[in-house]
Each structure stands twice: as structure tokens, then as C-alpha cells.
Amino acid sequence: MKKRRKTILSTGAVVVLFCIAFLLISRLLQPKYMTDLEEGSFISQYYREAGGHDVIFLGDCEVYANFSPMELYRNYGITAYIRGTPQQLVWMSYYVAEETFRYETPRVLVFNVNAMRYSEPVSEAYNRLTIDRMRWSGSKLGIVLASMTEEEQFLSYVFPILRYHSRFDKLTREDFSYFFRVKDNSYNGFQLHTEVVSAGSLPVKKALSDYRFGEICFKYLDKLRLLCEDKGTELVLVKAPSLYPYWYEEYDQQIKEYAAEYGLSFYNFVEQTEKIGLDFSEDTYDGGYHLNLSGAVKLSRYFGNILMEEHGLADHRQDPELAPVYDKKLQMYDETIEERLKEQKDEEDR
């Protein structure tokens, strides 16, 4: 009996050791997205900040590069968070929204409609950047099942080692430095780009054989709308300004019709670049695809005004609970901007 108990205990201890080793190795091999492809960690940074946001942004790179929640707060006292990720497709946005509602119920949910043009998963790499760092829940299960490309396997999302094992000889200092800890490399989901790369020649605008958005896109847009209705959150549709990829008139028409049918607000900022004051010779960091800080500041001021005027959001700058937190964030944000600009200037001087 004593021997049997000893066997069970020692075997159990070995099993526990194996599990710990398995988890540690999995963690080590998984990309940390701290300095390289930092967008991959945005989704998880939200969990530390979840709650108390009046506005949540959803969408692809056009949201996390173009809207700055810090500027929204600075100018209007709006508390906002961007849950955008690279190539976030419509069904991804739906599941991210579903997850967000577990943590908070924002007044307004802003959805960037650029993703409507994609009816199927684009690539495994983009899926990973959105899904890898999400916490497990029904929403993550849904997003994985909806997003997997043919070559992907569900189990590799459950056990990331199945996907990332080949990184064993590509580990960098980052993998060890951020083994347990993570750093905030966004400002409420905003990716800061201070560099300027003026818009130059863009690909030729080609006529498409079919401009209609896919059924699946409308299906998930419907689900997102119903989810917001259910939660009492206002869904606002936007198209962030960019010169490329082209936002066709036929695309715009479909969204306008959808918004009109369901009484939603839709702001196409591509058409309002002049009003916003955008100048693509200085307000973009990649030749017109995305805005840089200066462009994001202009767009956030413009959109913040709309949110305040037309959607009745509250100014939290005097809120005794929120103000100290946001003032501190704003200070860090400004310090980083100053640092980046200085670095940039030094580099130019060299």
C-alpha cells in the first residue's frame, strides 16, 4: 500500500513537471510581439485596461494607425480603446466585440468597414497576429473556427508549440526578456508612428469584376449590429482615410445603403480629407496607406468632435477616477512622442 502510494505520488510529480516544462517551452517559443510585429500584442494589452471606455474601435490597421485615443481624451475627454489588429476581418471584429462586451459595455462601438472587402481568411500570419494573444473564451473559439485557413489546424491554437516549435533556433533576447512580463507598446491600442513618408506613386486603380461584398461579411456585420443593439451600444461605421487600397464608390454605396437601412451612422473619411486637414505629403508614414501621428492627431480631433456633437459622449477630463489615470497616460504618450521626434531629428542630422 505504501509502495503504491509512493509510486502514485512520484509519477504524479513527474507528470506535473512535464506539464510545467511543456508550458514553459510553449511560452518561450511563442513570438512575444514586443519589438518585432508589435501589433501582435495589441489584442492582449487590452485585458489590463478593460473597462471604463466610452468608445471601442474595431477593425484592421486602419484603426490602430489612424485614430489616437489619447488625442480623443486630450481634446474632448473621450475615453476610448482601439481593439484593432492587422487584417482584422469582419468575423474577427464580431468575436472581438463579443469578447469586449464581457469586460465592458461602451457607449459607442466604431467599426472600420475596410474589412468588408475580404470574404475569406487572408493568411495564417494575419490570423495569428489577431488570435494568438487572445484569452481563451467562447469568443476565441469562435474566431479560430471562423478564421482558420485550409492549411491550419485548430490544435495549433490550443497548443501554440505545434505552430511555433520551429522557432527553437530563432529565439532572440526578446523571447527571454519578455518570457513572463509584457510591455505596453501601444497607447490604448494606438500604434505610434512619427516618421513621414510622403505619398508617391500608387498602384493603378483597376476596375473590379465584382464590387459586391461577400455574404459572410454582411452576415457578421448583421451579427455585430444585433450584438450592439442587444447591449445598448451604438454601432458607428467609419472608413478611415487612406489613399490605398482604393475604396471604390460601389463599396461606399453598399455601406451607405446598409447604414440607411438600419439607421446607423456612417462616416467615410476618405471623402473628407480636406475637411480633416489631411495632407498626404506629411501625414502618412508609408506613402498614403496609413496615417502617421500628425495625421492621426488631425483625424482624432475631427472625429472626436463628431462623437461629442452627434453621439453625445461625456467629457471625462474632470472625472476624479478617470482623469488621473488618463493624465498619466497622456504624459507618457507625450514623452514618447518627444523622444521619438528627437531620435528622428538626431538621425536626420547624422
Partner 1 sequence: MHKPGEKTDVMVINLLLFVAGLAVYAGYGISSIYLLAVTLLSYLAGRLIPRYRSVMWVSTVLQILLLLLLRAQHWLPWQPMIAPIGISYFTLQVMAYHVDLYRGKYEPEKNLLTFGLFVTYLPHLFMGPIEPYARMRTALEERKISGDFFLKGAVRSLWGLLKKLVIAARLGVIVSAISAEPERYQGAYALAAMFLYAVQLYADFSGGIDIVLGVSRMLGIRMSENFDAPYFAQSVREFWRRWHITLGEWLREYVYIPLGGSRKGKLRRFMNTIVTFLVSGIWHGGGYLLWGLLHGIFVSWGEKFRTGSKTLNRVATFLVVSFLWSFFIWPDTATVLRMAVSVFTVFNYDALPAGISGMELSGGDWIVLGVACLLLWIYDWKSRVLKARFCAFPMAAKVGVAGLLALTVLTFGMYGIGFTASEFIYSRF
Contact residues toward partner 1 (CB under 8 A) are: 7, 10-11, 13-15, 17-18, 21-22, 25, 29, 124, 151-153, 156, 161-163, 165-166, 168-170
Q: How far is the CB of 119 from partner 1 (least distance, A)?
A: 22
CA distance 84 to 60: 5
Q: How far is the CB of 169 from partner 1 (least distance, A)?
A: 2
Q: Which of 192, 181, 177 has its CA nearest to residue 297?
A: 192
Nearer to partner 1, 153 or 253 (CB): 153
Q: How far is the CB of 32 from partner 1 (least distance, A)?
A: 17
Nearer to partner 1, 152 or 252 (CB): 152
Q: How far is the CB of 148 from partner 1 (least distance, A)?
A: 11
CA distance 190 to 280: 19
C-alpha distances in Å from residue 63, one per residue of 2, 40, 123, 178, 348: 63, 14, 20, 26, 29
Q: How far is the CB of 4 from partner 1 (least distance, A)?
A: 10
Q: How far is the CB of 14 from partner 1 (least distance, A)?
A: 5
**322-349 vs 69-76: helix crossing angle, rounded to 10:** 120
Nearer to partner 1, 32 or 316 (CB): 32
Number of Cβ atoms within 10 Å of the Cβ of 224: 23
Report CA Rg, the chain: 22
Nearer to partner 1, 11 or 281 (CB): 11
CA distance 221 to 225: 6
Contact 202/94 with Cβ under 8 angstroms?
no
Nearer to partner 1, 110 or 131 (CB): 131
Q: How far is the CB of 168 from partner 1 (least distance, A)?
A: 6
Contact 111/235 with Cβ under 8 angstroms?
yes
Nearer to partner 1, 170 or 205 (CB): 170
Q: Which of 231, 221, 224, 235 has its CA nearest to residue 109?
A: 235
Nearer to partner 1, 75 or 127 (CB): 127
Nearer to partner 1, 151 or 230 (CB): 151
SS3 state of residue 342: helix
Q: What is the DSSP letter of 277?
A: T
CA distance 256 to 81: 25
SS3 state of residue 251: helix
Q: How far is the CB of 23 from partner 1 (least distance, A)?
A: 11
**138-147 vs 124-131: helix crossing angle, rounded to 10:** 170
Cell numbers for 83, please give them. Answer: 481593439
